[in-house]
Structure 1
Amino acid sequence: MKKEQGFSLIELLIVVAIIGIVAAIAIPNLLQARKTANEASAIGALRTCASAEVTYQGNNNVYGTLAQLNSASLVDTTVSTSTATTAAKSGFYFSNVVATPTATDFCIGAAPASASSGDRRFNVVEDGVVRFESSAGATTQCTDGAGTPLGGTASGS
């Protein structure tokens, strides 16, 4: 009697089912880890922008726009030129929420370029504290440390 070698169809189906279960558990966790990494990168970039604003204000007696910070070689081009329709840094685009920074305040916002990039929007003002908003919207609303909106009314209030 000759012994047949190989796998039966049932054995192959069991292996495929196990691989499917492992993938169903692992893939959502990997996607969430990517979002978390993108958000951490955006927070780091905003901290860099806040530091650049302080340097710029010290030299010019007024806070600058992202374009002015880039011209002074204080921030990266990917941060200063990112918009909703152009290249984003780590899945986030950055903007001056207060269009014309003054000698006393500025606001830079970071919003996810897509739903897979991140769940929260971030902003930083002259106190250097990075704040976040979890609500969806087109713009990032900046507030000072007391919660007072800068450059407009509070969203969702």
Structure 2
Amino acid sequence: MLHQNNFPTKERGFTLVELLMVVALIGIISALAIPNFISSQRAARAATAISSLRLIHSSESSYNSAKGSYESLETLGAAGFLDDPSLRSGSKEGYSFVLSLSDNNGKFEVSATPLLVPSASQYFFIDTSGVIRAETGSAADVSSTPIN
């Protein structure tokens, strides 16, 4: 015995072709949106790294004016010259910050290295001069291209 459906043809739901078209459209939109999103994230992290380097330089300069020397990030924080707890610990927004002090000439250097390292990552560097330098794909240093 055949059982007949009581639903009109128009109310049966979506066809397989319609569902495949929606899935394909979502795939196309994702393929366009995800790279832009990742690029925006990378740019935002780089901007945060640059502003963090400026903050570290400003904190070191203020500390040097008040105390006559340059100090570690932890010491700057403990003395009230660096208020950002993330920077005091040496990392912020996907970047690691390493401060090197020179005992010989009373100078400092700070390098900002991305924690996730795709080949297009930007590395940053600042020293006592206050000039921020950048390098793509490898560590920045005093010979890298200035960005300000």
The alignment of Structure 1 onto Structure 2 pairs a total of residues equal to 135
Structure 2 matches for 1:5-154, cutoff 5 A? 5=11, 6-75=13-82, 76-82=84-90, 88-96=91-99, 98-100=100-102, 104-115=106-117, 119-136=121-138, 140-143=139-142, 147=143
* TM-score normalised per structure 1: 0.76
Q: Give secondary structure in 1 for the equivalent of 2:55.
A: helix
Distance 2:101 2:8 in 1: 82
Moved more, 104-113 or 26-35: 104-113
One-letter amino acid of the structure 2 residue matched with residue 39 of structure 1: A
- CA offsets 1:25-56 (integer angstroms, 9 cap, x no match): 10011011011101100110100001011101
- CA offsets 1:97-134 (integer angstroms, 9 cap, x no match): x3445664211111111126x71111111121211121
Q: Tell me, which stretches of 5 or more residues in structure 1 are unaligned? A: 83-87, 149-157
RMSD of Structure 2 on Structure 1 (CA): 2.3
Percent identity of paired positions between Structure 1 and Structure 2: 31
Q: Which structure features the higher share of helix residues?
A: 2
Q: Give secondary structure in 1 for the equivalent of 2:51.
A: helix
Distance 1:78 1:101 in 2: 26
Distance 1:135 1:30 in 2: 20
Distance 1:37 1:101 in 2: 34
Q: Which structure features the higher share of strand residues?
A: 2
Distance 1:16 1:141 in 2: 44
Distance 2:105 2:49 in 1: 25
Contact 1:122 1:130 in 2 (8 A): yes
Distance 1:101 1:56 in 2: 16
Matched, 1:4 2:10: yes
Contact 1:123 1:142 in 2 (8 A): yes
